[in-house]
Chains A and B, each alone.
Chain A
């Protein structure tokens, strides 16, 4: 490979090994290229002297300690971010507090849902509050029917017609059934089925008494 002086800088920049070998051969008989080549190489050799190595036994332990501290601080700052830091923007701690309240509220709600009595799909059992309401209404209903019974009672007691005798027997059966149901409801106040049966008996007694009074008017 033949090289000319004009190619020297291109080879310095990006020459292949073959081109470098050809430049060296050329420099054997070209003083200018020989000097340039020597200067170029001397610069690289001098540069290699700038690489410095020294023992620093304390450096890695120092770096390791700093890395551990930084790692620990990063973990701690997670909580700081959550709870807010004085140097954060002004609303940061309020946001963190709101987030904390939300988390606590959610946790409480989940706890309540998980620990409350299982919901029964049937209406067979009434809650305490429902039992109270039912008993209150039932008492008012009984009172009203007792008043109705008081109005009809003379008619029932005095009349000797078979119709009235029939009404009297029916009312005795109803009273007996009502007494039984009330007794069972007293032992099991949350039983919705008993309450409904009792209501049905009262309604039947109400209708019977109304028929008795209607018969009296006729």
Chain B
């Protein structure tokens, strides 16, 4: 595409800007106010149009903008970095195969995330069938150690949370991971999962309530033991 240089500016304009972890709860409102939606939508459409024309540079731009978030999401759904990378690759192949069906009714990013999530669940089902890795024992050891971001974070809490997230319903898990971990807005999650924003908020609330119960249970048991 001859206009790629104009259509896809090289500055990163990530529509799903990772949220600064400040005040936790009113984040949705903060994000809505701070984000600049119109130019981001143009980029989204420009990338989609370039992908439709078969321009591999557009796929590279999509990867550059959202590859890290896609890898992280896949890692949390599949448990290992190698599976996550395979899922991201498969997602890009599926995007290329079905790009002709993208009509712009949702944003290109949410459409891509939907494909990613479906790909991850396909991989989980395939893995369960092959019984290569037990579902409740993901290969956490093979994952590179992320740089610690919160000094108070405790490795055991993180591990407990990972296991608790696995116990959520699929939709609760997806909403929780997309909102709390990957920083998507409810409006974007609604687009990915094809649900309403209200449903996304309710699902997140229920997911967090369930997680709290799961994570508090050992404490209660310990207290009873004492």
Contacts and interface: CB of A to CB of B under 8 A. Distances in A.
Contacts of A43: 161, 180, 208, 211-212, 215
Given A14-B201, A43-B212, A66-B93, A54 B24 contact: no
Contacts of B43: none
Contacts of A50: 72, 76, 158, 161-162, 165, 177, 180-181
Contacts of B149: 48-49
Contacts of B211: 43
A56 B67 CA distance: 10
B34 to A, nearest CB: 13
Interface string A1-20: 00000000101111111001
Contact of A48 (B30, B68, B181, B216): B181
B89 A63 contact: yes
A26 to B, nearest CB: 14
A52 B143 contact: yes
A175 B148 CA distance: 122
A148 B143 CA distance: 116
A71 interface: yes
A52 B88 CA distance: 14
Contact of A45 (B18, B24, B72): B24
B25 A47 contact: no
Contacts of A44: 21, 24-25, 180
A54 B74 CA distance: 13
A153 to B, nearest CB: 91
A53 interface: yes
Contacts of B161: 43, 46-47, 49-50
Interface in B127-149: 143-144, 146-149
A66 B89 contact: yes
Interface residues of B, number: 55
B144 A54 contact: yes
Contact of A41 (B24, B59, B81): B24
Interface in A44-76: 44-54, 56, 59-60, 62-64, 66-68, 70-71, 74
B72 A52 contact: yes
A102 interface: no
B60 interface: yes
Contacts of B202: 13
Given A46-B158, A60-B60, A70-B96, A12 B25 contact: yes
B17 interface: no
Contacts, number: 132
A14 B202 CA distance: 9
A81 B82 CA distance: 35
A13 B186 CA distance: 12
Given A17-B26, A20-B26, A54-B71, A49 B153 contact: yes
Interface in B42-87: 54, 56, 59-60, 63, 67-68, 71-72, 75-76, 81, 85
Q: Looking at A49, A53, A68, which has the most chain B CB atoms within 10 Å of its CB?
A: A49
Interface in B175-192: 176-177, 180-183
A68 B56 contact: yes
A39 interface: yes
A40 interface: yes
Contact of A47 (B88, B152, B180): B180
Interface in B204-219: 205, 208, 211-212, 215-216
Contacts of A59: 67, 71, 85, 88-89
9 contacts: A13-B205, A14-B201, A40-B208, A46-B161, A48-B21, A52-B75, A59-B67, A63-B88, A70-B97
Given A40-B25, A70-B96, 11 more contacts: A14-B201, A20-B25, A43-B180, A49-B161, A51-B183, A52-B75, A53-B71, A53-B147, A63-B92, A67-B59, A67-B92
